[in-house]
Amino acid sequence: MNEVNQLMSQTTISFIGAGNMARSLIGGLIADGRDANSIWVSDANKEQLANLSAGLPVHTTTSNIEAIEKANVIILAVKPQMLAQVAEELREATMGRPVLFISVAAGVRETDINRWLGGQSAIVRTMPNTPALIQTGATALFANNQVSDAQRNQAETIMRAVGLALWVDDENQMDIVTALSGSGPAYFFLMMEALEQAATDLGLPQKTARLLALQTGFGATKMALEASDELAELRRCVTSPGGTTERAVNSLEDNGIRELFANALKAAKTRSEELAQQFGDNNK
């Protein structure tokens, strides 16, 4: 057993919140071999806890304090607007303990979380996206200065249970991550929706258009993940001079597709910054 696996095997993980992201992470951890007996989950909603424990044999409780009593890692999986209240509740119970906090709450800055927890906590802020629900997520992680190398490994191992996990060194980059991968699934859904509609309008049956659009998106993504070539080169390889693809790509370029995406990401990044400021200001 390597050092990281040994450390993880000795770790008790507590989830505050039993929503979809918590369920996804727990499912991924158990699928990776994590002992369900080492996982605690707290939530005020008893029905949600019952639904979770019916499929995942973890400890459940309605008490956040009970859930974290023996925890080495506490995963804050509550809605952003609830995070200040939850963190302040946990402050006294975790003060002075070598606990790693991992936040999956979108748009809440590490500096605010740390302030609510008392100012000396080891915190990893993460930005997973919705494909994490089917273990194909993309997650960015940012660690504050209190996080040790061992805790970084713990956080990365946990988030890898639901897909790709990458570190950023500057928390400001999390707003760009939010705009790219956090909001990104919606962009791809919109693109596939538009392709399906265009093909249907041209005469294909709707079901056929949908399946072809989805499989084409899946196949192109799989090729890009497995290839060593840059995306531009992959595009050139399927764009024969004078052919149908070239004409379609030229039409997209002429109509400003790059500018559209640039503006979309700028708008999402700006909104992410606004929400972070709002969450922090509302709980000073």
Would the pLDDT of 1 be above 80? no
Helix (H, G, I), strand (E, B) or coil at 107: coil
* pLDDT of the residue at 8: 60
* pLDDT of the residue at 45: 94
Q: Are the C-beta atoms of 156 and 168 separated by less than 8 Å?
A: no
Burial bucket for residue 2 (CB in 10 Å: 0-12, 13-18, 19+): exposed
| Mean predicted lDDT score pLDDT of the chain | 93
Q: Are the C-beta atoms of 70 and 93 separated by less than 8 Å?
A: no
* pLDDT of the residue at 11: 87
Going through 161-218 in order, the beta strands assigned E by DSSP cover 163-167
* pLDDT of the residue at 118: 93
* pLDDT of the residue at 279: 87
Helix 46-55 vs helix 20-31: angle between axes, to the nearest 10 degrees? 20
Give the tens place of pLDDT for each residue, 208-240: 999 999 999 999 999 999 999 999 999 999 999
Give the tens place of pLDDT for each residue, 21-79: 999 999 999 998 899 999 999 999 999 999 998 989 999 999 999 999 999 999 999 99
Task: Over range 105-122, report the average pLDDT.
Answer: 94
* Number of CB atoms found within 10 A of residue 181's CB: 19
> Exposed e or buried b for every residue in 5-35, given b needs 16+ CB within 10 A?
eebbeebbbbbbbbbebbbbbbbbbbeeebe
Task: Over range 177-189, report the average pLDDT.
Answer: 96
What is d(CA 245, CA 239) in angstroms, rounded to the nearest whole number? 5
Give the tens place of pLDDT for each residue, 235-262: 999 999 999 999 999 999 999 999 999 9
175's tokens? 């707003």
Task: Over range 113-136, report the average pLDDT.
Answer: 94
Domains with residue ranges and CATH for the chain: 3-174 (3.40.50.720), 184-268 (1.10.3730.10)
* pLDDT of the residue at 9: 61
What values do phi and psi take at 126, rounded to 5?
A: -125, 155
* pLDDT of the residue at 6: 54
* pLDDT of the residue at 10: 73
Burial bucket for residue 139 (CB in 10 Å: 0-12, 13-18, 19+): buried
Give the confidence band of 7 by pLDDT, cuts at 50, 70, 90.
low
204's tokens? 């294909």
The answer to pTM > 0.85 is yes
Torsion angle of the four alpha carbons 15, 73, 86, 36, in this order, in degrees rounded to the nearest 10: 20
